[in-house]
Amino acid sequence: MIEEIINDMTKIVNKMQDYIKQDIEDIKKAKHEELLNRNDEKQSMIEEIAVYKQQLNQEIVKQMQNGVDVNKYREKVDNLENELRTLFELNKKLSLIVEPIQRMYKDIVDDITEKNGGSFFHVKA
């Protein structure tokens, strides 16, 4: 059961890594619609990883309580941790690209709002 959970988590993490790499390339190519198309699936994958993490922890505790030496899973767990670190680094790289763009758009909206007396749209009745 533990190996199955680890394998499933690793598959999801690897798929998310691929998606983030695609996101970075799509940002460079200004393919914003492609980014949006992957967002829902990435959110689902994040939720799946959280569920698997909880299941993995419970299964490890259960195995330990049954006297099983869980060190036999050490290599697979270490590999999963490395894949999660890689995912974290890719996500950090993506955020370094997205954050300045987000800030630029916010600055533009703030500038327009300020020039219109504090509201984005000036409506005359």
Asked if residues 23 and 94 have their Cβ atoms less than 8 Å apart, the reply is yes
For the chain, how big is the Rg over CA atoms in Å?
22
Q: Residue 98: pLDDT above 60?
A: yes
Q: What integer best gives the mean pLDDT of the chain?
A: 87
Q: Residue 125: pLDDT above 80?
A: no
Question: Taking CA 54 as the corner, what is the angle to CA 21 and CA 58, rounded to the nearest 5 degrees?
Answer: 140
User: Which residue in the block uniquely carries the two structure tokens 């030496």?
Assistant: 69
- Name which residue leads in pLDDT, 29 or 19: 19
What is the pTM (predicted TM-score) of this model?
0.74
- d(Cα 85, Cα 58) in Å, to the nearest integer? 22
- Name which residue leads in pLDDT, 66 or 99: 66
Q: What percent of the chain has pLDDT over 90?
A: 59
